[in-house]
Structure 1
Amino acid sequence: MTTTDQPDRAVTDPVGLITDLVAEVERELGIETIQAVVTAVVGGRAKSRSLAKALAMRPAVLTDGRSPAPRAIGDLLIELRKAGASAIAPPVCAECGKKLRTLQRKGQDWYCSVCGQETAECNVCGSVRRVGFRDRKGLPRCSMCPDIDDRDPVTVVHELITTMAPGADRDVVAEALRRSVPHRPHYRQRLVWALEEKPRLLTGGWIPVIVATRGRLIRPRAV
């Protein structure tokens, strides 16, 4: 396989190109096994083409495991190792060099669970620590300063909806909210904050909330 053929194959035969690049390095796995792993990892056409182009540009990642590189390449290295590859390198942490079985990303680099922790100045106490939370404005907070909201989410959403549809049934709103975010209080809180910030979401079809009044199902009027 010549390097001049690779750009065209990345478009016309991305799975075949990736398989061949891996096979040139890895002798322990058969072509069929490599192809099966590649197919499982690359997914759709756009993703497979992107991965093929990146791998053709720097095939050395197969043996050194180093980023920067797309996450899909890291996933490919991990899955090839699980399949029994020995010449293929596992991804390595960009900071400490640890060999990874799972990875986190910041930008185009791979990190272990320790080095991958985001640090920032807490918006409340001002300490530079690992980011434990993001508040309702998306600002970082440490684990000691969570953004606590003791309000009942159903009450807040019901009040928002009644400004657009007076007489909305609170029980129906509660059920719609429960179905939208079941068993996830933290996500429900964030959904409430998003609706408070942009009530138009209720009329844009993004949030599956339907209200009832006088026994008839209606959609809230645009604001």
Structure 2
Amino acid sequence: MEAIVEAVTGAEPELPVAIIEQVAAQVAPARMQLRRLAQALTTDPELLTSGRGEGPRHVELLIRGLLPHGTRRLVLPRCAGCGRTTSLEHRDGARRLCSHCKRKTTGGEPREPCAVCGKSLKVFCHDQDGFPRCQKHPPAEDGTDAILRILKQLDTGLDERTATAAIKKSLPHAHQRRKAASQLRHTCSPARVPKDPRQ
């Protein structure tokens, strides 16, 4: 608590210590939360006055709690995405984001490195080996050939025309066939189902 009081009074010397302690205890009631808040303000006391959307969420909550008590230099942190001084509940690395910008950044879905470009982006689809692809690098194959090779190795007795018709009837979309090929590749023995050397 002492480090928090020191950081706040450094920015607002006229603010009563009792008010600082009361607000800090309200916004960070757990001991671990107080420690994180104290550590952040000790490392970078300008988090209280710079308006940067960084640090733990409790910095924002502390400032919000102290503003009604006549502060002059404390500045609410701004969202690193849109710049608004709204509630910053989310993180993107070291940056703090509002809910709107978090959804816009991730599309509501986790990001994964694309198997082609390596950039961590929203997954557009998976190739037939199960690797994620971004929207700019969709797989050229539709999964049918991969399933046919696996069926041939499993000696199902189906000719290629019959097998192809069955695959496309039961899995009408390319992403379904790629997913099925990936699952079959993982469930069947690699010794029996070798990967296509052309891939």
| TM-score computed with the length of structure 2 as normaliser | 0.48
Bigger radius of gyration among the two? 2
| TM-score computed with the length of structure 1 as normaliser | 0.43
